[in-house]
Each structure stands twice: as structure tokens, then as C-alpha cells.
Structure 1
Amino acid sequence: MVTVAVAGGTGGIGRAIVEAIAEGGKHKIIVLARKSDEELAARLGAPIIAVDYFNVLELTHTLEKHGVHTVISTINMRTTEGEPPEIELIRAADASKSTKRMISSEWGIPLGPEEIEKQVQVARKYRAKAAMEEAKDLETTVVYNGYFLDYYVGPQIKTYLGPATLFVDVEHDAASIPGDGMTPVVYSHTSDVGRLVNASLDLKKWEPETYIVCDKVTLNEFVQLAEAAKGTKFKAVYDTVEDLKAGNWTDLPGQVAALLLVNGAFDLKPETTLNDMFPKIKTSTVKELLEKAWKNFSGGPSARATIDQRILGILLALLYTSLRSVD
């Protein structure tokens, strides 16, 4: 048993990971946040420790005080409130005498340096990667899990991610597909990611990059599965690559997201995955979750996001990281 600290563990993918570790029952867990919340801590089954993320000495002391062996960061790397404290957390974990491992905040797809000027969170992640490489006494990794399936099946299926629509609007029977729709996309649900991350805590060695691939389908296949689950025909519109490059795209996707998809950025092809390492952990497929969420769904638009929320969700989704909470 080790003590695990999850930074940003009160919401989003962080909360899913906290719940998975708590349910696993093998490791002790604490949540790092900007403020404490006793009521939420009771529901999580884990104490919430208030920290100043930007005070490396104080943060180091907190990790040592609680005997934290492993830090898992789900810090919001796309925040508009200045530089996120990921580098400070890495430095504190490296300085902590008790801390030996850290998962830095990624939770999406690997993007090359050519995306640094296009997406602010990519530049931040590259700076965090440099900080990890400078660490002297810290084993580190990042987790790539593709696109979160939660966005298409919540709130019918429990999730802590906010509303977002990317390419397919299941509720309104619509799809806006970049290219020919034949490029595969990796999908994973946060609950499965949490269980696999919990299992990875027992690995003797981590690789610098960790992959989770719960399912992989093309957008055409995704739409067909959604149509079958709902028993309805979707209105699908296709945007050519030429239109996307010219900045002309249909309502749902964004240009950057669409071009990345048609270029295969979501088609993860790792040599091994946590799914391979832990075959007894059965994860959900796109088909299973779409059917569970939509086959007998009787709610209307009010049961999900408002239009304003959806617009905000689209913009956030285009930044390619899960909607993660930093407290």
C-alpha cells in the first residue's frame, strides 16, 4: 500500500480516479485542492488538503507530511487564469523525500510541437515535460486515453465531466464529420480510465508514456452505433479537408480539432496499453455505452445541457483535454 495524492481530484477525470482508487481499497488516497471541503471529502472517502500550488516549499512539506508516494495530476492545463501550477507540482514531488512517482496532467492525445502555437495547453504540457525530464528522483509518466466517451453518454451514465459536443450531437441526431469519416478515433470512459490508472500503481516500472485504448471506431461507425441505439436517423454533414483548411466547417466541429482528426491524431497505436496489461479489467465499448445511455432515453433537451452550455462545451472540447477541475 502507498499513499496517493490526486491534484484536482474533486471533479472531472480527477474525481473518477479518486473514486477508483478508493473503491480498489489497496492504497491510501488524499486529494490536493485550493480549498478544503469536509462534506465532499466525506463523499469521496478521502481527505481534501488545501494547498498553495505555487508555493513549492509548502507543497513539498505537505507531500512529506502525508507520506505521499505517488502524485497524480489532473490539473487544468487549459485554464485562462494564468499559467497552471503543473511545474511547481512536479518540482515539489521531486523535492519530497517520500514521493517517488508522478503522473503529469495529460489525459488526451499526444500532440507534436507544431501545435504549440495553436493551442495554449500544448505549450504548457511541453514545459511540464521539460520539468519532468529535469527531475532527479522522480519516476514520471503521462496518460494518453483518446477522447472521453463521457461527453456522449452523460448524464445518463455517471460522469464528472461537463457537457461538450465534438463532431456528433447524439441528443439532437446530428453529426458534422471532417473528411470522409473513415479515420479511427480512440475513446475511453473516465470510470475505466480511473480503474486502469489505479491498477497501474502496482506496476514495478512505468514507461514515460502510458496508453489506454478502451475502444476505437471511425466517426461513421460512431454515428451508425448512435443511430442504432436511439432508433433514429442522424443528419450527417461532411466537411472536406479543403473546406477545413479554408476555415469553413459545419456547426459542430472546430477547424483545429477536425484537421487533427483527419490526420490521425486520435488514432492511437501504442505497442502496449494498460488494457493489455490488465485484461481482467473489462472496459466499456462505444456500442455498450451508447445503448445504455440512449436506447430508452426519454428526456428532452432540458435533461442535458442548455444551448449556452453546449456552445461553451464545444469550445472547451476543441482544446483536447478533459474538463478537469483545479480547486
Structure 2
Amino acid sequence: MVNIAVAGGTGKVGKTILEVLKSQTRHKPFLLTRSSTPSNDDNVTSVTVDYSDITSLAEALERHEIHTVICCLPYEGDALKVGQGNLIKASEASVHTKRFVPSAFGINYPKEAVKELPVLAHYFQAIETLRQSSLEWTLFQNGCFLDYWGHPHIKSYLRPSPFGIDIAGKVAAIPGDGDTRFTVTYSFDVAKYVVAAMDLDEWPETTRIAGDIITWKEFVNLAESITGSKFQVFYDSVEKLERGELTELPSQVPCYATFPKPRFQWFMAIFSRWTADEEVCYIPGELNVKVPDVQPMTVKAMLETYWRG
């Protein structure tokens, strides 16, 4: 048994991983939080930290004998640059801390994407910092989250970010030609794999997870078959997506209340385009082979469970 701390464990992916971590008994879960209010959860120990202070961070890791840090800090503001950057340095300074998981849990981001999404510079910097450190570390890749097509029925802490297919609206806006393979994984399956990987003797630099591997055309065919409805299908060319344009889906409209439409469409056009590139979004599931006890949800299972007509 080792002590495992989750940074950013109160939102989205971090909350999901912490929930699964709390459900097992092999390791003791800790939550690194900026909040000074004690958690009322008896299954997790909350540790108040200041991400701007490397010394106090290291002392907190030492005091609680944290062996592994799982960083789930968001890709917003200075969370990666300051929070994760300092947490890596503090982990290396801590005698007890041996392993580190950087905030990733997504696709194989291309380095040139920094031009469009500057925050990714801090993502790549974390990788270089870890390579130069004495820590054992691994970066988890799982493709796109299957949750986006299970909302609002599926259990998920992720914010709805629909693209490609609107199952409720019976509309599809397929990126590219629809024949490119890409990977999707349910967030709770990602969490199960991450927690299972804590027991592996060795970690590769990249740990790949695949809930399911599918093409957009296959996705639409499954959705039509299982819902019993014919979908209206549009195709968004890569060139169109490169201009930041995409066909609007009815399920995207509610997102504009918290994510202004021009920004949302620009952002989702980037991710839609990436699903047409197997170098980016096709993630083979090597970890699946090592952890056969985890049986991930497939696209077909998700559709049959939440959308059968």
C-alpha cells in the first residue's frame, strides 16, 4: 500500500479518478486542495496546499508520505505553468515521492498545436521537466471522452462538449471523410485504468488506453441502428475546420451560455479536425492488455444503454 495524492481532484477528470481511487483498498487516497475547509469525506485525506510555494508543497508531500502524485489540474490560467510545474519540482524534492502522473488524459497532442492552443506549451514543458527529473512518470492518453455522446444520461463530471454526432437531434457533422479511426474512452473507465496502473512495476513514458476504436461513419451507422432513426449527415472538410468553421449541432447551442459561440466553434473545430488525423486521435490500448480485469464501455454499449429507441 502507498499513499496517492490527486491534485485537482474536485473537478472533472480529477474528481472521477479520486472517486475510483476511494473505492479500492490497496492504496490510501489524498486530495491536494487550495481550500482550507476540511473535507467531510472519511475515505480521503484532504491536504491544503499552496501551488505557488515549492517548499511548502514538498513539505506537505513529505508530511503525508505521498508516494505517487496524480496531477489533474486544468488547462486554464496558470494551473499547468505554475501549479503543475511547481508540483513536479516539489515531488522531486520530497524523499517519499517516487512517481508522478502529469495532467493529460486525452489525445496525442501534436507539438505544432501550441500555435493554436498556447496553453499546450506548458503541457510539453511538463514532459521535458519530468524527463530531466529523477521521478518515474507516465502520461495517460485515452483519446476523446465517450461521455460527450452519453450526456445527459450517462454519469459524468465532464462538461458537455458535443461534436461530430448529436444523438438526440439525429444530426451528424462528420469531420473529414469519416473513415479515419479514432479512440474514445468513458471517463470512469479512464479512472479505473489509471488506478490499476498504480500497481504496475514499471511505467512507460506514455500509457495508452482505448475504450473503443471507431470511425465516424461506423459511429453514425451504430447510432441509426440502435436508435431506430435516420440521421441527417453533413461532412465538414478538414479545410473548413482549419478555418475554424463547423456545422452547428442542436446539442451545441446550450453550451454557448457558458462558452461564447465563436470561441466554442473555433475550439471544437480544432478537436473535430484532430479526429480526422490518426496520428493524433488513434490511441491503441496497450494498457488494456496489461489490465484485462477492466472491461471498458464501447460506443455500441453506450448507445444501447442510454439511447436505444
Q: TM-score, normalised by structure 2?
A: 0.88
- Per the alignment, residue 158 of structure 1 pairs with 155
Go from structure 1 to structure 2 and tell me whether the alpha carbon gap of 1:21 and 1:53 turns closer, same or farther (over 3 Å shift). Answer: same
SS of equivalent to 1:236: strand
Task: Check conservation: 2:209, 2:283, Cα contact below 8 A.
Answer: no
Q: CA deviation at 1:220?
A: 1.2
Go from structure 1 to structure 2 and tell me whether the alpha carbon gap of 1:260 and 1:86 turns closer, same or farther (over 3 Å shift). Answer: same
Which amino acid is 1:284 matched to? M
Q: CA deviation at 1:82?
A: 8.6
- Per the alignment, residue 26 of structure 1 pairs with 26
Q: CA deviation digits over 1:216-249, x for unaligned, max 9?
A: 1111111222223322222111122343345543
Superposed counterparts of 1:179-198, under 5 Å: 179-198=176-195
State the distance in 1 between where 2:11 and 2:304 align: 25
Q: CA deviation at 1:154?
A: 2.9
Task: Check conservation: 2:80, 2:122, Cα contact below 8 A.
Answer: no
Equivalent residue for 1:256, pick from 270, 280, 297: 270
State the distance in 2 between where 1:55 and 1:273 align: 37
State the distance in 2 between where 1:243 and 1:82 align: 31
Task: Check conservation: 2:222, 2:300, Cα contact below 8 A.
Answer: yes
Tell me the percent identity.
35
- Per the alignment, residue 255 of structure 2 pairs with none
Q: Which range is displaced more, 257-266 or 180-189?
A: 257-266
Go from structure 1 to structure 2 and tell me whether the alpha carbon gap of 1:80 and 1:97 turns closer, same or farther (over 3 Å shift). Answer: closer
State the distance in 1 between where 2:151 and 2:236 align: 27
In structure 1, list runs of 5 or more residues that go unmatched: 297-327
Equivalent residue for 1:171, pick from 150, 168, 173: 168
Which amino acid is 1:193 matched to? V
State the distance in 1 between where 2:217 and 2:37 align: 44
SS of equivalent to 2:138: strand
Q: CA deviation at 1:150?
A: 1.0
SS of equivalent to 1:105: coil
Q: CA deviation at 1:199?
A: 1.0
- Per the alignment, residue 146 of structure 1 pairs with 143
- Per the alignment, residue 308 of structure 1 pairs with none
- Per the alignment, residue 211 of structure 1 pairs with 208
Correspondence 1:268 to 2:283: yes
Go from structure 1 to structure 2 and tell me whether the alpha carbon gap of 1:46 and 1:249 turns closer, same or farther (over 3 Å shift). Answer: same
Q: CA deviation at 1:163?
A: 1.3
State the distance in 2 between where 1:200 and 1:134 align: 22
State the distance in 2 between where 1:153 and 1:113 align: 30
Which amino acid is 2:273 matched to? L
Superposed counterparts of 1:273-292, under 5 Å: 273-292=286-305
Correspondence 1:104 to 2:102: yes
Task: Check conservation: 1:77, 1:84, Cα contact below 8 A.
Answer: no
Correspondence 1:117 to 2:132: no
Q: CA deviation digits over 1:156-190, x for unaligned, max 9?
A: 22111111112112222211111111111101011
SS of equivalent to 1:114: helix
RMSD of aligned residue pairs (Cα, Å): 2.0
The size of the alignment, in residue pairs, is 291
In structure 2, list runs of 5 or more residues that go unmatched: 250-264
Task: Check conservation: 1:36, 1:48, Cα contact below 8 A.
Answer: no
Q: CA deviation at 1:35?
A: 0.7
